[in-house]
Amino acid sequence: MSRFDLTPPDPEQLQALAAALSPEERHVLLQHGTERPFCGVFLDNKREGTYVCRLCGLPLFRSSAKFDSGTGWPSFFQPYDEAHIGRIRDTSHGMIRTEIVCARCGGHLGHVFPDGPPPTHERHCLNSVSLGFVDEGQPLPDPLRRGGAEAGPP
């Protein structure tokens, strides 16, 4: 069970959060778009910390679970907490894939594939624009002002 409040933002909160996004962030997070490979700001990020949802601030992945998949998108073998990731069957583009979304706000993150490293053998392939990053030891963002676990360090 997650120590974070996974209650979705109400419509007014979601509208306020979306208003702070760039056009590309809105396209990816809210319209299930994809950024071009090899251009995301977090592809080569080597800092220690936590990757969070760009829209609602929920922690999604730890830097210790990041690996170089060679695909052109930041890749992780394990989520921060499985409850923080929603999985949706995606049959777009003539293939069957599993889309991953933020479990709290529903923002599109990317896709997960069964070709990652041990121990999970999963490759969570993410769009950098769907993410924020918090350096190790720094407080997590709390854009929904929920306090509690969300106000403390990762």
The residue from 53, 56, 105, 125 that is catalytic is 125
| φ, ψ dihedrals at 129, nearest 5° | -70, -15
Contact predicate 107/55, CB 8 Å:
yes
Q: Which of 8, 32, 2 is nearest to 129 (CA)?
A: 32
Q: Does the active-site annotation cover 56? A: no
* Triad 29, 4, 122: Cα angle to 5°: 60
Q: In the chain, count of helices (H) and strands (E)?
A: 2, 9
By annotation, the residues acting in catalysis are 125
